Structure 1
Amino acid sequence: MKVFDLFCGTGGFSKGFEDIKEANFEVVFGIDMLSTSVETFKLNHKNAVGLSKDIRTVRRNEVEAMTGIKRGELDVLVGGPPCQGFSSLRPFRSTNDDDPRNTLFEEYASFVNYFRPKVFILENVVGLATHKKGQTLEIMQECFHSLGYETEWKLLNAAHFGVPQKRERFVMIGVEKGGEIKFPRPSHTYNGSTIGFKDKTKLLEPDENDINLAPAISTMDAIGDLPPILSGESAIKYLKSPLNQYQKERRKDHNDLSLHVATKHSEKMLEIIRHSGKNINCIPKHLITSGFSSCYSRLDANEPSVTITVNFVHPASNRCIHPVLNRALTPREGARIQSFDDDFKFFGSRTQITKQIGNAVPPLLGKAIANAISTIL
């Protein structure tokens, strides 16, 4: 089953599709503005065309020629149009032109209209649900309905799907009129605070009566087998066997450890880190001048991580200090928390790779959604 990945980044979302071997998904196309991300996408999707371009400059018939996929032959279109474009969203004007003034959402919709996928998935920030008091979402759904698709959307927490992270996302699924829409069922429970949204039917949450659900994967469940290096140190070999199923699945039979390189912190930062706790209030006032409540904060060992950001190797910007060691997370630990397998290949410098990891859709969340899509198809 053929998959296109728009605004693909590293391809973490679509990697989740290919990880379901019995469903036989094949990612054949990915496009993103960032060339380093596209190189990462191509390293992990060997049979796909990876394009590093502004989507507004690429004609649909060019993509058809590159991939050999004609109208009606595409099974799944996935992607998350960057949310900056939503503020200028207006009623959908045209579905098949290559107008450079189109918003990025309109480009996504134009791909839907041109290729007519059997299913599309639009993934985004949870703020999309309330943007302009719901007007933005209304315009988007009206657009898809005018193209002949039925849509449904939910707010998901990645921790409910086996990702060791409380990452909340908006997910819309569209099918051609008359088709059935299915969302994944949560596989894990997590009792911490979650999205505050007044219409509770839009929250995809675990069934409280389901006794078969596993507890959420914690931060240390995810990274506890990795060598305990200090600030400025690195490691290229595992020192112990996996301690649980999550670690075993991420490692597979992989022997070489990559990206486990800790930021070298200054003496002042190390002193701040030694005081760190759940929020910035744990830090003595004379050591810092300002910051958000989540800055200079330590992750809980026994809970899923907070949302990983693009700066998770720098404690001054967000909550990313290791649960027990006095340093920020390494890129490998960030990748584990994002549910990337250890053999997933990243292209670029350490800084570029850290940004790619922070921006990604967790592959395990992609896999859960892909499982639901495979039953639709």
Structure 2
Amino acid sequence: MNVLDLFCGTGGFSKGFENSEKHNYQVRFGIDILDTSISTFKLNHKKASAITGDIRNIKKNEVMDLARIKKNDVDVILGGPPCQGFSSIRPFRSSMEDDPRNTLFEEYASYVNFFRPKAFVLENVVGLATHSGGKTLEIMQECFHSLGYDTDWRILNCAHFGVPQKRERFIMFGFERGVRIEFPEPTHYYDGFTIGHKDKSKIIKPLKVLGLPKSITAMEAIGDLPAISSGEKSESYIAKPSNFYQIQRRGDCKELTLHYATKHSEKMMEIIRHSGKNINCIPKHLITSGFSSCYSRLDKDEPAVTITVNFVHPASNRCIHPILDRALTPREGARLQSFDDDFIFYGNRSEITKQIGNAVPPLLGRVLADHIGKYL
């Protein structure tokens, strides 16, 4: 089944589709505004074509030529239109033509209308559900309905689906008219806080706690990686994987990559040694300001909090190692995002860290791929 990945970033989401063991997906095309992200996408999607650029400036006929695909040969379109564009969404006009005046959401809808996939998946930040009092979402769904697609959406927590991270996402499914849309059931149980929504039916939570394994914890995800200190690196595995998640992520990898720790100053090391669940654990004379989650340590017995683009710096959102005195390494961040160890990231340290933090967890992509494949 042929897949197009719009606003693809590293391609983690679509990699999850290719990793499906239940259905055979082939990613044919990706587009993103960042050149480093497209370089990473190409390294991990060998059979796909990819373009760096503003999606509004690329003609769809060019996409067909590049992807070597016809209009009616697309099965699934994926993508998360950047949320900056939502403030200017208008009641939908027409998406038949290439129009550089389109908002980024309208361009996504334009691809749906042009290629007529059997299904599409639109993922985004949880805030989309309540943007402009729900009006934005209403306009989006009206748009897809006018194009002949039925839609439904949910808010889900990745920790309920085997990802060792309490990352919440908005997910919309779209299918050609007449399909009864259902969403996947959680595979793991986590009883922590969820942002939520006034309509509780829109939140996917485990209905049957009994029998479900507990969510993967931070240490279960990264505990087999060498215990390096501030400023150190390691390029080889020392311990054997100790659980199924580690076995899956490591695969056949013999060489460890991206496992290098930020070199912290002595003052920062003193802050880190005091770190705990929140900033209140830090003596007041050591810091001047910060959010409650700054300079805070991950809980080893819980899934990680949402990984941000600055997770290699202790001042970011709870990104100090659960038991070691340093921030996370890029490899540890990738593990918490459910990237396999053989996934190749292109760019310098800062660019790679941002790619990891911005990604949709591949394991979430795989769960959704397994689910919607039943409809296709």
Greater displacement, 60-69 / 1-10: 60-69
The aligned runs of 1:1-377 (5 Å cut-off) are 1-208=1-208, 210-377=209-376
Give how far 1:90 is off.
1.1
Give how far 1:21 is off.
3.3
Give how far 1:287 is off.
0.6
* Alpha-carbon distance between aligned partners in 1 of 2:239 and 2:374, rounded to the nearest angstrom: 38
1:330-364 per-position Cα deviation (integer Å, ceiling 9, x unaligned): 00000000000000111111111000000000000
* Alpha-carbon distance between aligned partners in 1 of 2:199 and 2:18, rounded to the nearest angstrom: 33
* Alpha-carbon distance between aligned partners in 2 of 1:149 and 1:318, rounded to the nearest angstrom: 38
1:99-143 per-position Cα deviation (integer Å, ceiling 9, x unaligned): 222110000000000000000000000000000110000000000
> In the alignment, is the contact (CA less than 8 A) between 2:163 and 2:338 conserved in 1?
yes
Give how far 1:172 is off.
0.2
- What RMSD, in angstroms, separates the aligned Cα atoms of the two structures? 0.9
Q: Percent identity between the aligned chains?
A: 69
TM-score by length of 2: 0.99
Q: Any idea what SS the aligned residue of 2:72 has?
A: coil
TM-score by length of 1: 0.98
Amino acid of the residue matched to residue 50 of structure 1? A
Give how far 1:182 is off.
3.0
* Alpha-carbon distance between aligned partners in 2 of 1:43 and 1:22, rounded to the nearest angstrom: 24
Q: Any idea what SS the aligned residue of 1:152 has?
A: strand
Amino acid of the residue matched to residue 32 of structure 1? D
Query: Deviation above 4 Å: which 4+ runs of structure 1?
Result: none
1:134-190 per-position Cα deviation (integer Å, ceiling 9, x unaligned): 000000000000000000000010000000000000000000101232322110000
> In the alignment, is the contact (CA less than 8 A) between 1:181 and 1:376 conserved in 2?
no
Q: Any idea what SS the aligned residue of 2:151 has?
A: strand
1:60-107 per-position Cα deviation (integer Å, ceiling 9, x unaligned): 111112112222211000000000100111111221222222110000
Give how far 1:213 is off.
1.3
* Alpha-carbon distance between aligned partners in 2 of 1:180 and 1:112, rounded to the nearest angstrom: 19
* Alpha-carbon distance between aligned partners in 2 of 1:179 and 1:51, rounded to the nearest angstrom: 33
Aligned length: 376
Give how far 1:286 is off.
0.6
Give how far 1:194 is off.
1.0
* Alpha-carbon distance between aligned partners in 1 of 2:43 and 2:131, rounded to the nearest angstrom: 36
* Alpha-carbon distance between aligned partners in 2 of 1:291 and 1:81, rounded to the nearest angstrom: 30
> In the alignment, is the contact (CA less than 8 A) between 1:72 and 1:118 conserved in 2?
no
> In the alignment, is the contact (CA less than 8 A) between 1:56 and 1:100 conserved in 2?
yes
Give ranges in structure 2 of 5+ residues lacking alignment.
Answer: none
* Alpha-carbon distance between aligned partners in 2 of 1:288 and 1:218, rounded to the nearest angstrom: 29
Q: Any idea what SS the aligned residue of 1:21 has?
A: coil
* Alpha-carbon distance between aligned partners in 2 of 1:365 and 1:168, rounded to the nearest angstrom: 11
Give how far 1:50 is off.
1.1
Q: Any idea what SS the aligned residue of 1:120 has?
A: strand
* Alpha-carbon distance between aligned partners in 2 of 1:183 and 1:76, rounded to the nearest angstrom: 16
